[in-house]
Amino acid sequence: MSNTTNDTFHITGLGGKRVLKGEVKVNGAKNAALKAQATAVLFGTPLTLANMPDIADVQKLDELLEAMGMEITKEGKRKRTYNARHFSESVFPAHIAKHIRASVVATGPVLARTGKVVFPHPGGCVIGARPIDFFLNGYKKMGAVVREGKSAYTIIAPRGGLRGAEIFFPKVSVTGTETFMMTATLAHGTTVLKNAAMEPEIVSLGNFLKESGADISGLGTPTITIKGRGGKLLRARSAYTIPGDRIEAGSFCILVALAGRDVTVSGFNSEELDALLFMLEDMGMNIEKEKRSVRLTAGTKTALKSASFTTHEYPGFPTDLQAPMVTLLTQSEGETTVFETIFEGRLRYTDELKFMGADITLMDPHRALVRGPKALKGRTLESPDLRAGLAYVLAAIVAEGKSTIHAVSNIDRGYERVEERLVSLGVDIERVHQD
């Protein structure tokens, strides 16, 4: 992927018309790929990952792992083989780790493999406080010593290696669950993760680890038990294919609900998107679900019926689709409340939708009142983070007139050249590179 830091999108809006048609295929899931990359640290054999999305976050994590001694060979755009045979580095390069929140997932595998890990507070999307206390407390439970310095955390495993432990997550945490599932695999003794996350990407990764020699039970339930291998590295018996991105799929489905006539979204497990698809159906979309695709058609009426929603851990409504969904609600008929339960600060982007003409009242950092439909006007906006950035693209597509969206690099972190697929559906969008 080229350097896209200064890229801008120019979008000519459809002014509320329903015109988009065609088929769009989603790529491998960002939130599965990043954990699979971190997992490579646990392997004594080369690990091949297929269906990798070509996005900035994945590239950054590769850079980080390479800087720490991982050998990575690329085969085409989507396949990479990770060889950790010379992996012995414990210190994360701060200049890379600071820019990618998911680097925190690699701290556990590095600690389990090398006995030590030093890392800065991880960066990522600006969606409220994103603490790492679950990670630090979990490492302590496994016998490690945790030192919090001014610019870095230093974690040292006990002599003889990490020990199995019971870990209860005060809040359901996706990366927390994944990190400890991986870390516990190399520990001594049994680890039980309680109040664990049930996201499909976790189940997929866990099943692959099992195929590679890990002993994990309870995947897809709130209690996951891992019997540690006492330091014995995993052996890959096959390549791991990254599952299709349900969030990317959901973003396209919401676009169709906003401005589509007849669009098929494919390349993902449609069951994983039940929370959204059932809602879109209730709002008035026609939905034909196949196992690996979904066809969405709209009637002649432009505006759908509004519906309230609350974000929730899987299988509830994903927080990563909250901003795109709010954009849809600004164009739907009625008054609704949106309750963002996972991240505080993840409704700040609504100011910009209001600037475009939306009727949204923020009641507190977690709740918004949306009244629709309200015609939006094209504006110049700056993408604040990955998912809100995509919401701005959707808003610009339905708006009247031209919009300019700056800081496209935030969108590129998770959506691979999204404009190409939007153009194929009939959207007037252009990427402009500015040096």
Round to the nearest angstrom and report the end-to-end CA distance of the chain. 16
Q: Interacting stretch for ligand UD1, rule CB under 6 A, among 172-180, 185-193, 235-243, 271-279?
A: 172-180
C-beta closer to ligand UD1: residue 102 or 255 = 102
410 interacts with ligand UD1 by CB under 6 A = no
* Identified catalytic residue from 125, 196, 294, 407: 125
34 interacts with ligand UD1 by CB under 6 A = yes
C-beta closer to ligand UD1: residue 101 or 163 = 101
CA torsion angle 194 198 201 206 (round to 10): 50
CB-based contact 29:272 (threshold 8 Å) = no
79 interacts with ligand UD1 by CB under 6 A = no
173 interacts with ligand UD1 by CB under 6 A = yes
Strands 71-75 and 334-339: unpaired
CA distance 304 to 336: 13
Reduce the DSSP state of residue 238 to 3 states and report it. coil
Tell me the closest approach of the beta carbon of residue 269 to ligand UD1, in angstroms. 17
257 interacts with ligand UD1 by CB under 6 A = no
Among 92, 317, 343, 392, contact with ligand UD1 (rule: CB under 6 A): 343
Half-sphere exposure of 131 (CA within 13 A, CB side): 9
Mask 174-193, x = binds ligand UD1 (CB under 6 A)? xxx-----------------
358 interacts with ligand UD1 by CB under 6 A = no
Tell me the sheet residues that pair with 430: 10
Reduce the DSSP state of residue 197 to 3 states and report it. coil
Q: Which residue has the tokens 């091949």?
A: 48
Phi, psi for 211 (deg, rounded to 5)? -60, -25
Annotation marks residue 253 as catalytic: no
135 interacts with ligand UD1 by CB under 6 A = yes
130 interacts with ligand UD1 by CB under 6 A = yes
312 interacts with ligand UD1 by CB under 6 A = no
Among 74, 77, 86, 171, contact with ligand UD1 (rule: CB under 6 A): 171
102 interacts with ligand UD1 by CB under 6 A = yes
322 interacts with ligand UD1 by CB under 6 A = no
Token pair in block for residue 59 = 């590239």
Tell me the sheet residues that pair with 223: 194
- Packed helices 30-39 and 174-186: angle between N→C axes, nearest 10 degrees: 20
Q: How many residues does the chain have?
A: 435
Active site residues: 125
Residues making contact with ligand UD1 (CB under 6 A): 31, 34, 101-102, 130-135, 171, 173-176, 319-320, 342-343
